[in-house]
Amino acid sequence: MGDGRNGARLILVRTDWKMTDWTDFSDALDLGPLVPAAFARYRQAVIDGMMVFLDRLPEEQTAAILFDQAMLGEDAGIGQRLVAIARHCPALHKLAQVLARDRRLPADLRRHLQTLETLPASHDTPWLRGEIEREIGPLAALDVTLGAAPLAEASVAIVVPFLWHQGGRARPRRGVFKLLKPGIEAVLERELVVLQEIGGVLDARCQDYGLPSIAYEDSFAQVRDLLRGEVHLDLEQRHMVEARAVYEGLDTVQVPEVFAFSTPRLTAMERIDGGKITDVADLPGSRRRRLAADIVAALIARPIWSEADASLFHADPHAGNLMLTPTGRIGLLDWSLVGRLDKHERVCLTQILIGALTIDPERIAAGIADLGRPEGGIETLRAIVEASLGPVRAGTWPGLAWLTDLMDATATRASVRYGANLIVFRKVLQTLQGVVADVCEEAGTDAAMAEAFVGHLAREWPARLVARPFRRDFATHMSNAELTHLLASAPLMAARMWSGWAARTAGLGPVALSD
């Protein structure tokens, strides 16, 4: 059932390259691995949604997909077939990149999806030169020499190297062009419209599927608006300029510089050398642990603990967009998708974490209610919060995994309506937990977050000495009164953590300490 052979045989007998019903294709393959076991009850909804998506594709896109499926042969597995489909569908390509490091999926499927993080280019240099010169004019007039071959292909663009001689300087600047694929704007827009339609289908059939009622069409519309930025390279250029300012002075991070001869369909930028951030198996363990901590500090801690009114975060941090440079820095590529957390959202997140550390369910529930609208009722929300504190009382550290699980539970069971930026940031947390684990299995994210928090706290300490008790205009979003309360709770927190560690080491069940 799951080896793809029936699917290949089905496709090979189709000679007219049309398929009006993708259900046969779905039935011929085992699509179960698409959905982690923890969400098995939603499997049919996910599979049906994918079939609706494929059914809405235009004939030429369908023909290309079916041709590639036939070329895979009868022995191709589900991972290979999904990758082949995603290569023709930028929206699915982007989704596959997000899922590629999700440890809840089978390892073999993840390995196939990871091939979509960086692909070899499918266009040759002469054609690319023509497209580039249509955008910016003759390269010779700009004193630019194009590289011999493109570097890579992404979901919507092709990356081509060049040298910018700048009037015959002894050392030319090395750069890359990021050029949109021809017609990609229309293709992506069509797919995003279909995704919103799928949201409407889920809204209409959520009871049939056993899904929570969480306004799927509205949520998909918010994600659609964000993904539209993928093909507006002028927006990405502005994001990169802003990101360079955000990370200025941080010697662990490098963001490409944007060159002046960029257009809305082409970005000319500094070339950052290096390899994929997860290709570090040959590095010593201490270096991999430090690199994992630097990733967390740059991409999670920095946006949360920022003094900016609205902090910028990279909204697409899959491993293909993160490089390890020869100097050991993290190269942050592809700023098409960004999000922003406002001060209020960061204060609420901080309140939730304080509440978890001090076992204060009322503080947690209030923080969540301030972040979104709990349409399922405050009592349902409180019950979910109480359940989430069970492992914490038994000594489990309430870190990022605990926070993302809580957000999931409150969204699905209490119908908390989080804003688009929080929805995306939650997915960023999930993606980066997978990336960090692939960089260094034993590193985790919570120790790095604690280290970053202590660093921020130390830097703001002089200002705290003269601050009013309830003032929160610090990067850590915590008043002196709240910090005092947290410090006063430290002995009980330490005892709880130690008790939990001792019980786990001894093989005992959880031992909850009274709060």
291 close to 445: Cβ distance less than 8 angstroms = no
User: What mean pLDDT is reported for the chain?
Assistant: 85
pLDDT tens digits, one per residue of 177-190: 999 988 899 999 99
- Kindly state whether residue 211 falls inside one of the protein's structural domains: no
What pLDDT score was predicted for residue 276? 93
Please count the residues of the chain.
Answer: 515
Question: Rounded to an integer, what is the distance from CA 247 to the centroid of its chain?
Answer: 19
Residue 388 CA to residue 402 CA, distance in Å, equals 8
Quick one: pLDDT at residue 25?
67
215, two tokens? 């306004």
Position 471 in a domain? yes
Give the 3-state DSSP-derived string for 260-307, with helices as H, strands as E and coil as C. Answer: CCCECCEEEEECCCCEECCCCCCCCHHHHHHHHHHHHHHHHHHHHCCC
Domain endpoint, select from 63, 92, 116: 116
- Asked if residue 249 is part of any domain, the answer here is no
Please give the pLDDT value at position 6: 44
In a domain, 247, yes or no: no
Eight-class DSSP state of 452: H
Check whether 446 has a pLDDT greater than 80: yes
**Closest of 47, 26, 32, 1 to residue 105, by C-alpha:** 32
Examine the pLDDT at 439 and tell me if it is beyond 90: yes
Look at the chain and report how many structural domains it folds into: 2
Structural domain containing residue 454: 341-506
For residue 44, give both structure tokens.
């049919």
Give the pLDDT score at 270: 97
Average of per-residue pLDDT across 200-207: 84
Provide the pLDDT for residue 284.
94
pLDDT at 513: 46
Residue 56 — very low, low, confident or very high, per pLDDT cuts 50/70/90? confident
Q: Would residue 294 count as lying in a domain? A: no
Give residue 258's pLDDT.
97
User: Distance between CA 351 and CA 364 in Å, rounded?
Assistant: 7
Q: pTM of the prediction? A: 0.85
Average pLDDT estimate for 137-141: 95
Least confident stretch, 18-32, 192-206, 478-492 = 18-32
Q: Indicate if the pLDDT at residue 5 is higher than 60.
A: no
Average pLDDT over residues 54-72: 86
Q: What is the pLDDT of residue 1?
A: 36
Does residue 91 lie in a domain region? yes
Round to whole Å and give the CA distance between 515 and 290: 35
Confidence of residue 502 (pLDDT cuts 50, 70, 90): low
Does 321 map to a domain?
Answer: no
Q: What pLDDT, on a 0 to 100 scale, did the predictor assign at position 29?
A: 61
- Confidence at residue 176, expressed as pLDDT on a 0 to 100 scale: 97
Q: Is the pLDDT of residue 7 over 50?
A: no
Which residue type does 255 have? V
Q: What is the pLDDT of residue 246?
A: 95
pLDDT of residue 104: 77
Cα 47 from Cα 51, distance rounded (Å): 6
Q: pLDDT band at residue 23, thresholds of 50, 70 and 90?
A: low
Is the pLDDT score of 326 beyond 90?
yes
Which of 73, 96, 116 lies at the terminal end of a domain, its last residue?
116
Q: What average pLDDT does this structure show over 44-69?
A: 85
Among 56, 89, 116, the domain boundary falls at 116
Which pLDDT does position 195 carry in this prediction?
Answer: 85
What does the pLDDT read at residue 494? 76
Residue 100: name the closest of 84, 88, 116 by CA: 116
Residue 123 has pLDDT above 90, yes or no: no
The whole-angstrom separation of Cα 337 and Cα 227 is 7
* pLDDT value, residue 45: 84
Look at residue 343 and tell me whether its pLDDT is greater than 50.
yes
- Give the Cα-Cα-Cα angle 238, 240, 241 (nearest 5 degrees): 65
Q: What is the pLDDT of residue 33?
A: 66
- In this prediction, residue 304 carries a pLDDT of 93
- The whole-number pLDDT of residue 142 equals 94
The answer to whether 203 and 216 have CB atoms below 8 angstroms apart is yes
pLDDT at 14: 40
| pLDDT greater at residue 260 or residue 505 | 260
**Residue 204, pLDDT above cutoff 90:** no
pLDDT more than 90, % of the chain: 46
Residue 229 has pLDDT above 80, yes or no: yes
Instruction: Note whether residue 234 is domain-resident.
Output: no
- Confidence band for 388, pLDDT divided at 50, 70 and 90: very high
Instruction: Name which residue leads in pLDDT, 350 or 47.
Output: 350
Q: Which residues in 325-450 belong to E strands, given as ranges?
A: 330-332, 338-342, 373-374, 416-417
pLDDT at 325: 96
| pLDDT given at position 31 | 64
